[in-house]
Chains A and B, each alone.
Chain A
Amino acid sequence: MKGAEMTVRNSIGLGVTRRGFAAAIAAVAMLGAGVVSAAAETVKVAAIYTLPVEQQWISRIHKALNAAQARGDIEYTFSENVANTDYERVMREYAEAGHQLIVGEVFGLERAARKVAQDYPETSFLMGSSFGPSGDNFAVFDNWIHEPSYLTGMIAGNATESNLIGMVGGYAIPEVNRLMHAFMDGARAVNPDVKFLVNFIDSWYDPPKAKESAFAMMDAGADIMYAERFGVADAAVERGVKAIGNVIDTSGDYPSTILASAIWHMEPTIDRAVAAVKGGDFEPADYGQFSFMGYGGGSIVIDETLVPAAVVEKVKAQEQEILDGLFRVNVNDARPVSDG
């Protein structure tokens, strides 16, 4: 029994060594290049996404990494549309190929991904996660844009006439719930009578389904739609209803429909992680705070042709309070539900 176990371990170990050998050669070659010119010192970054790079959340990470590559800070490669069941394999492949920083999302494999990271102490991992950092090399981030979400909520609360706001979400996981609650808090702060309809489609990427949910809410009287998913704003356009954007700015795609959007900027997070890897002091930290407005990780865009100037002014004042640290937006990760 024990012998068999040993053999298995050995054979795995051998495999690693062989690949490790190739990586070592590559590393030596890179070291040589580094001696010749210090400016060529780039961090090798690989990203693993479970959805295509067009998906809102992922597009923000992809954008920040592309920007870092354009500046010459990193050498960037990625795999998209990787199934959760296949995710560990891709993590291992990138780690064994000698990538120094691996960025991705582990919402569907929190525990397994942390185990993989333990096997590659030389590699730094920066993963979107609902939980905290772990081990010596597993840092986490997320789109903590609850602050701009609160501000967009204020705009929605002011704009609604039926006092009914519809919200269509993907999955009811903490990062989605948190932004929804912040948005709802913002709306209630300016309009105590406002009520919400909440629905989850249990898919990240089924626009026709999201659209049907949105239609159902507008049938029920919602006159502002919180567009957490692709498809919601499309339904709003068809009915001439206004919508609030999330994560990306889609106002160009839906003219005179998007009142305001809470935007996520991944650059502060990525740039800090890359610098840490470069400096050799990458810590298993929670990078979540770098998505806060104070670090430039979150912002709000308002379509001032659709929102009254008085409301814009009020929102700007609130934004300043957040930036000055005078106002803190509540964090609530519970699943939001419709008002009865």
Chain B
Amino acid sequence: MTDLLQIFLSDSFYAASLRIATPLIFGVLGALLCERAGVLNLGIEGIFVVGAMSGWMAVWLGADLWTGVLAAALAGAVFGALHAVLTIFMGLSQHVSGLGVTLFASSAAYFTYRTALPEVASPPRIEPFRAVAPALSEIPFLGPVLFSQTALTWLALALVVLVWWVLDRTPLGVAIKAVGDNPDAVNAQGLSVRRLRFGAVVAGSSLMALGGAFLTMSAFDAFFFGMVNGRGWICIALVIFASWRPGKALLGAILFGMFDALQVRLQTEAGAVVPGQIFLMAPYILSIVALVVVARRAEYPRALLRPWFKGQR
């Protein structure tokens, strides 16, 4: 019990929670944007891999870190556009197309990596993002928790505010939410449903790719096959937990990060008594429980999963 208290009182626990949450914040914002416009994007897991690979690859080829971030976002946008064409313009099943994009995107990323680096003894490393303000990390609590984080974590937090502001405070946001709820009404206003959806899916996919880029450019400094390890799927669950709201999305991602950070610490402490797998499962079980509790009241975007064609009802 004192151990548990010690964990909750240590600032490193909160720093770890935010670090683990960062890729999820990007991913859940991206998924939220797509779904708010009425398109489920199960391509997320593959787009994470693409983002992780292309961001890292750009830097490895000599670009600076922010150009790498841009490269990741662009690569994510390309695969987002593919999903958008299949689901919005051709009206195909969003589930099938999304899973297809995940398989294609991750294979394409591995293929590109291996073609570029056929013979390497260990994965090449880049110089990743470092702490934004190491000088300020001496400040109690806030120092280690916030200022020891990298620029990408700050970017993720800024994007939460930006996505909230766009969705809740701009006409564009109203239009995006409307295409996800009632595309006919948007059409009656003289706006293009397809263009709005296309834009939201492409932008959302770029955000997802940044989640992947965080893994190879901040959390670690090299690209590994399989390192995304299901993080994309977690975001799909977190969107529902967040009821499609950016603020709650941030909360959900951080809660998951805390579960995971706690799991690591508890497994080390009590691994002798309880099988370690229980702890590894815990964050996922807790998110399912949270989902059950929250999802009952969840209000899905009403036109989610429904393709829209002009003149068809």
Contacts and interface: CB of A to CB of B under 8 A. Distances in A.
Interface of A: 51-52, 54, 59, 63, 80-81, 166, 172, 197-203, 205-209, 211-213, 215-217, 219-220, 230-231, 234, 248, 250, 253, 337-338, 340
A318 to B, nearest CB: 29
Contacts of B224: 52, 54, 205-207, 230
Contact of B225 (A51, A59, A208, A213): A51
7 contacts: A51-B225, A52-B114, A54-B120, A54-B121, A212-B19, A216-B261, A219-B10
Contacts, number: 99
A156 to B, nearest CB: 17
B262 to A, nearest CB: 10
Nearest to A214: B264
Nearest to B15: A215
A297 to B, nearest CB: 19
Contacts of B10: 219
B168 interface: no
Interface string B102-133: 00000000100010000011110100000000
B215 interface: yes
Interface of B: 10, 12-13, 16, 19-20, 110, 114, 120-123, 125, 215, 219-222, 224-227, 229, 260-261, 264-265, 267-272, 276-277, 280
Contacts of B222: 207, 230
B272 A216 contact: no
Nearest to A51: B225
Given A215-B12, A253-B122, 7 more contacts: A80-B114, A81-B110, A200-B267, A200-B276, A205-B225, A208-B227, A212-B264
A51 B114 CA distance: 13
A250 B12 CA distance: 27
A207 B272 CA distance: 24
A207 B260 contact: no
B220 A208 contact: yes
A51 B227 CA distance: 11
A216 B229 CA distance: 20
B271 A205 contact: no
Contacts of B270: 338
Looking at A51, A81, A212, the one whose CB has the most chain B CB atoms below 10 A away is A212
Contacts of A206: 224, 226-227, 229
A220 B268 contact: yes
B227 A207 contact: yes
Contact of A216 (B125, B220, B264): B264
- Nearest first, the 10 A-B pairs at minimum CB distance are A337-B272, A208-B219, A216-B264, A219-B12, A207-B220, A52-B225, A206-B229, A199-B268, A216-B265, A197-B268
B28 to A, nearest CB: 17
Contacts of A199: 264, 267-268, 271, 276
A248 B121 CA distance: 10
Nearest to B275: A335
A216 B263 CA distance: 10
Given A207-B222, A211-B219, A212-B264, A198 B122 contact: no
